[in-house]
């Protein structure tokens, strides 16, 4: 193996480690933050998926350089085909992340006006401090807003969350199959 081949191999392995690791972590953790309705983190994970998804093209291009046109070997053809399938699945993951960010933003915007309950002026005047809410053991005005988000059990972006979980698992499995092919036959 020549020096230039060794450099290409080091670049290939380096790109694989430093792009596939963060990419897989970002795609696999997205469903958790969709469930928690954390739009800031989901937006960050979406951007991370975009950046590292583009970075994975470096793995493919350097791998083509290492193959030196000898694409007749079955394991190389299978590896490249699986890689292209993984890239297509990553496009679907990226689309679902983008859609989930939009749905979470819409849900947050709809919940923001409902989070501050407005009491009629007649009810404020009729009720003296410390009477009805505290004497009957019911919820006071300060406790009422806290019960709102906890009582909200509606799922936001449930379909996207399920697809993201499934697709990211399949993509991670594809990366492992490609790794086995590279180590076994390389």
Q: What is the pLDDT of residue 115?
A: 57
Q: What is the pLDDT of residue 121?
A: 57
Per-residue pLDDT of the chain (186 residues; tens, 9 = 90+): 789 889 999 999 999 999 999 999 999 999 999 999 999 999 999 999 999 999 999 999 998 888 887 778 888 999 999 999 999 999 999 999 999 999 999 998 888 776 556 565 555 555 555 544 444 444 444 444 433 443 354 588 889 999 999 999 999 999 999 999 988 886
> Which of the 8 DSSP states describes residue 128?
P
pLDDT at 139: 46
* CB-CB contact of 62 with 8 (8 Å): yes
Q: What is the pLDDT of residue 114?
A: 61
b (16+ CB within 10 A) / e for 4-32: eeeebbebbeebbeebbeebbebbbbbbe
User: Cβ distance 103 to 155 under 8 Å?
Assistant: no
User: What are the backbone angles phi and psi of residue 127, rounded to the nearest 5°?
Assistant: -95, 125
Instruction: Please answer whether residues 20 and 12 qualify as being in contact, where contact means their C-beta atoms are separated by less than 8 angstroms.
Output: no
């Amino acid at each position: 193996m020549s020096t230039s081949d060794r450099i290409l191999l080091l670049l290939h392995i380096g790109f694989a480690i430093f792009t596939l690791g963060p990419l897989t972590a970002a795609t696999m953790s997205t469903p958790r933050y969709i469930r928690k309705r954390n739009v800031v983190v989901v937006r960050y994970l979406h951007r991370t998926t975009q950046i590292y998804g583009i970075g994975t093209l470096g793995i493919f291009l350097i791998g083509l350089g290492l193959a030196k046109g000898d694409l007749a070997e079955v394991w190389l053809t299978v590896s490249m085909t699986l890689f292209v399938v993984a890239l297509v699945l990553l496009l679907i993951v990226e689309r679902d992340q983008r859609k989930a960010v939009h749905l979470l933003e819409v849900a947050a915007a709809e919940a923001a006006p409902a989070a501050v309950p407005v009491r009629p002026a007649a009810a404020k005047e009729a009720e003296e401090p410390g009477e009805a809410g505290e004497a009957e053991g019911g919820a006071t005005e300060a406790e009422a807003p806290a019960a709102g988000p906890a009582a909200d059990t509606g799922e936001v972006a449930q379909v996207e969350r399920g697809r993201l979980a499934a697709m990211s698992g399949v993509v991670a499995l594809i990366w492992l199959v490609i790794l086995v092919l590279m180590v076994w036959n390389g």
